[in-house]
Amino acid sequence: MNITKIELINFRNYKKAIFDKFSNLNIIIGKNGVGKTSIIEAIYLGSLAKSFKTNSDDTIINNESNSYKIKIYYFDYGPKNNLEIIYDKTGKKTKINSKLQKRLSDFISQYRIIMLSPDELKLIKSSPNTRRNYLNIQISQLYKEYIHYLNNYNILIKNKNDYLKKLMINGNLDIRYLDIIDEKIVDEGMKIYNYRKDYINKINIYINDIFKKYDRNSNIFIQYVSDYEVNDKEKLLKELKRIRKKEINLGMTSFGVHRDDYEFIHNENNSKEYSSQGQQKLIVLAMKLAEVSIFTNDYNIKPILLLDDLFSELDEKNRNNIFKSINKDTQVFITTTDLKNINKRLLDRAKIFNLDERM
Ligand SMILES: Nc1ncnc2c1ncn2[C@@H]1O[C@H](COP(=O)(O)OP(=O)(O)O)[C@@H](O)[C@H]1O
Ligand SMILES: [Mg+2]
């Protein structure tokens, strides 16, 4: 799966731009603010239909316009294909080969991406919510049905919270409704738990070996932390019964996979409190590279790697290490302000896009 061409119309600072003839290794160079991250953002949107920078597509539209459009051409062994995202007042439309897609879930993951940036490297320090979102995105790139289970679960939790709030006000309401909704929640929640557990297990198969290339004397693994750890329907229902009074008093669901998290265990310690900042970044880097291996080896999917401004964060040895663990036929997009950050051997086989020359 390779992207060959991108067209941007009224997207961020681009009124109209075409980037063409991509190769496997693409380096986008230019001064700060010239539009490097915006190209990465367009590729990310083409895969997930959602930006990593904002939840509001209005901010993406060029200031002087009222709609944006992205068109991405790609090929996957067979015939050439293209994707479009058009956004205006009426909402977001997506197309595959000019055919309008009814649902976003039909559009997403035509190609998969793994994103690495200074922001992404903060994963260990960030909130449980950010870590959960990240895990959700990654699993949904591999399993479409996962998005569906997640939506179901979230709707059930919302309905349960609404009912708990009503119960707070009116204690005479039928409590049996909670039995019914709890059973549905546990069914959906256990599915989500098992996808997450399986994905984290897979990361653990690769991450330690990869991390050792960066830090020879360290051990690393990811510990999944979930209320659903017992993974047994009867026991989970029993627990929900046990805490029911508390939930009614709180007026919200205080137990479930919506509270899941994962910890990075570095030399038997929680990395958040134990590792240096530099180590935390390398641990996340190792995790992402482990994910490239999962996609490639376990699912036979070649993800596209997006390295946005990453090299400013790493020293030369660590930069070069990345490319030792990546297949040469994996497509990579790198942005940088300075070609000095890029080693000669990479430069020789890269296609370079100099955005300063467009100004
Ligand atoms: N909606 C928009 N309309 C016009 N310009 C924008 C919009 N959103 C962001 N910009 C500008 O686009 C430029 C490109 O940003 P970015 O791609 O992050 O640059 P880089 O990664 O090269 O530093 C920035 O100068 C920013 O101010
Ligand atoms: Mg940038």
pLDDT digits (tens, 9 = 90+) for 282-305: 999 999 999 999 999 999 999 999
Please state, in angstroms and rounded to a whole number, the distance separating the CA atoms of residues 357 and 11. Answer: 19
Q: Measuring CA to CA, which residue among 119, 121, 7 is closest to residue 53?
A: 119
- Among protein residues, the one with the nearest Cα to ligand 1's atom 13 is 33
Tell me: pLDDT of 114 over 80.
yes
CA 336 to ligand 1 center in whole angstroms: 15
> For the segment 53-73, what is each residue's pLDDT rounded down to a tens digit?
999 999 999 999 999 999 999
Cα distances (angstroms) measured from residue 24 to each of 76, 294, 346: 13, 20, 11
pLDDT (0 to 100) of residue 327: 85
Task: Dig out the tokens for 269 from the structure.
Answer: 């310690």
Probe target for ligand 1 pocket from 38, 61, 66, with the most ligand atoms within 8 Å of CB: 38
Q: Measuring CA to CA, which residue among 232, 221, 155 is closest to residue 193?
A: 232
**Mean pLDDT value of segment 79-90:** 93
Is 12 close to ligand 1, i.e. is its CB under 6 Å away? yes
87 beta partners: 68, 92
Per-chain mean pLDDT for the chain = 95
Is 91 close to ligand 1, i.e. is its CB under 6 Å away? no
CA 31 to ligand 2 center in whole angstroms: 9
- Among protein residues, the one with the nearest Cα to ligand 1's atom 12 is 13
Q: Any long-range contacts for 83-91 (C-beta under 8 Å, 24+ apart)?
A: 83/46, 83/107, 83/110, 85/45, 85/46, 85/49, 87/57, 87/60, 87/61
**Chain centroid, CA 242 distance in Å:** 35
> For the segment 232-289, what is each residue's pLDDT rounded down to a tens digit?
999 999 999 999 999 999 999 999 999 999 999 999 999 999 999 999 999 999 999 9
pLDDT (0 to 100) of residue 359: 63
Please state, in angstroms and rounded to a whole number, the distance separating the CA atoms of residues 163 and 182. Answer: 12
Tell me: pLDDT of 174 over 80.
yes
64 CB-near residues (< 8 Å, 6+ apart)? 10, 15
For 120-143, b/e burial (b = at least 16 CB within 10 A) is bbebbeeeeeebbebbbbbbbbbe
Probe target for ligand 1 pocket from 13, 19, 31, 34, with the most ligand atoms within 8 Å of CB: 13
pLDDT tier for residue 76 given thresholds of 50, 70 and 90: confident
* Architecture of the domain delimited by 118-300: Up-down Bundle (1.20)
CA 15 to ligand 2 center in whole angstroms: 18
- Residue 61 per-residue DSSP state: B
> For the segment 176-234, what is each residue's pLDDT rounded down to a tens digit?
999 999 999 999 999 999 999 999 999 999 999 999 999 999 999 999 999 999 999 99
Ligand nearest to the CA of 32: 1
Domain with CATH 3.40.50.300 in the chain: 1-112+302-359
Is 36 close to ligand 1, i.e. is its CB under 6 Å away? yes
pLDDT (0 to 100) of residue 236: 98
Q: Whole-angstrom distance between the N-terminal and C-terminal Cα of the chain?
A: 31
Put residue 162 in one of left, alpha, beta given phi > 0 → left and psi -120 to 50 → alpha.
alpha
CATH code for 1-112+302-359? 3.40.50.300
Is 353 close to ligand 1, i.e. is its CB under 6 Å away? no
Is 281 close to ligand 1, i.e. is its CB under 6 Å away? no
Domain with CATH 1.20.1050.90 in the chain: 118-300
**Mean pLDDT value of segment 117-142:** 97
pLDDT (0 to 100) of residue 120: 95
pLDDT tier for residue 358 given thresholds of 50, 70 and 90: confident
Please indicate whether residue 323 or residue 147 has the higher confidence score (pLDDT). Answer: 147
Output the pTM of the full model.
0.95
Q: How much of the chain exceeds pLDDT 90, in percent?
A: 87
CA 32 to ligand 2 center in whole angstroms: 7
CA 14 to ligand 1 center in whole angstroms: 8
Please indicate whether residue 40 or residue 80 has the higher confidence score (pLDDT). Answer: 40
Tell me: pLDDT of 80 over 80.
no
Atom of ligand 1 nearest to the CA of 41: 17
Dihedral sign of CA atoms 203, 207, 209, 210 in order: positive
